[in-house]
Structure 1
Amino acid sequence: MSQSQPYKDVAAVILAGGRGRRVGGEDKGLLELDGKPLIAHVIDVIAPQVDSLVISANRNLEQYKALAYPVISDRQEGFYGPLAGIDAALAATDKPFLLCVPCDTPFLPANLLSRLYAALQDSNYPMAIAVDGERQHPVINLMQRSVHADIRNRLQQGNLKLMRWIEETGYASVDFSDQPQALSNLNSLDDIALVGKRS
């Protein structure tokens, strides 16, 4: 399958529902890099790879809606982290697979989904996560819809740690060490400024 042809059985969610603690409470997805919001860079790379895409956000909803994709919010009050965004995305989409990426990774590769998808098909696990050769990137993952009930249970029990759920669920690691910079997330205003100067 060519990279220009989307996977018809995959929906994507871009997670933009956090508090932005590392950027002074700013809404990270809306911070600008090269004149456009970080999340717009992510959309440019991810949208061509999937059949449908939703944005998970808990504030500034009108600004996110202006990006012309459906915007969903957590189904609980408060900030419950990535699992809550994934839960909302699984409830709002109907594809067999869900691709998850964060809003602060503007350099994601065009073959992200094809690699995750191939690894998931070759494994006995319900999800695959990206690894850059040194560290795991649990928020960059592909999962089967079958995990949704377990995510709901964990949220109801207050078990909110994404990596703990991934480890207990079981996963395939997908090696992106040939392009580790593609998985880099911009964690701070300084990171964004530095990258902007280089480009």
Structure 2
Amino acid sequence: MRTERIAAVLLAAGTSSRFGEEDKLMAELRGKPLAAHTLETVASMAFAELIAVVRPIEVAPVLHRKLDRRGYTIIVNDRPEDGISGSIVRAVEHVMPVNRIRGILICLADMPEVPQTHYNRICLAAEDIRSVVASTDGFSSSPPAFIGRKHFPELLALKGDQGARALLSHGLQIETTGNVLHDIDTPEDLPGWRPAPSD
């Protein structure tokens, strides 16, 4: 499916509790905030709409500014503790009335290593509104993932932090190497991370 018929949904509203005090999405990676890598890669593609689900502006002002500059529609998830499902529901509610959008591409802001080529492969593998196309490292299904419009009612019923995992596991699997799908949960997950020297 052509990207012009797909809305890209960037999920960036997590509380990142395992990362510690620092805002994970603002942690520096190769000279810029972690989230900037994904949001810039996705924004460089010709999607029908760019959507980002984020925490309120007062807790993520820099991220809001960067997304705004790149042309994202910003949807605030003021209940990030409800898990990833709450963010997906908000995004689907936003795109549902727009009939020209045939599906969504779910992207995670804490997956900085996914190249444009992989997002493209997912979109190209999606045939129609019934398609579900997930990424896999050969072991489990994960985003980035395309979910066709036919499955929107199912997405609206999601609860908790499992997201659309069950749906993705039944979809077409596009395999790539594990490091492409590496997500950052703790400071140690950052490439090149070193512990701070102790006194």
**Structure 1 segments unaligned to the other structure (5+ residues):** none
Name 2:88's counterpart in structure 1. Answer: 86
Quote the offset at 1:193 in angstroms. Answer: 5.6
Matches within 5 A, 1:40-189: 40-51=36-47, 52-59=49-56, 60-67=59-66, 68=68, 69-74=72-77, 77-93=79-95, 94=98, 95-121=101-127, 126-137=131-142, 139-155=143-159, 161-166=162-167, 170-176=170-176, 179-189=177-187
Question: CA distance change for structure 1 residues 25 and 18 in 2, over 3 Å: closer, same or farther?
Answer: farther
Name 2:197's counterpart in structure 1. Answer: none
Question: CA distance change for structure 1 residues 125 and 173 in 2, over 3 Å: closer, same or farther?
Answer: farther
- Provide the aligned length of Structure 1 versus Structure 2: 183
Quote the offset at 1:119 in angstroms. Answer: 2.5
Q: 1 CA distance for matches of 2:171 and 2:146? A: 10
Question: CA distance change for structure 1 residues 180 and 189 in 2, over 3 Å: closer, same or farther?
Answer: same
Provide the identity percentage: 22
TM-score, length of structure 2 as denominator length: 0.78
Structure with bigger helix share is 1
AA paired with 1:42? T
Question: CA distance change for structure 1 residues 37 and 113 in 2, over 3 Å: closer, same or farther?
Answer: same
Given that 1:29 and 1:39 are in contact with CA atoms closer than 8 Å, whether structure 2 keeps it comes out as yes
Q: 2 CA distance for matches of 1:193 and 1:115? A: 25
Q: 2 CA distance for matches of 1:134 and 1:116? A: 17
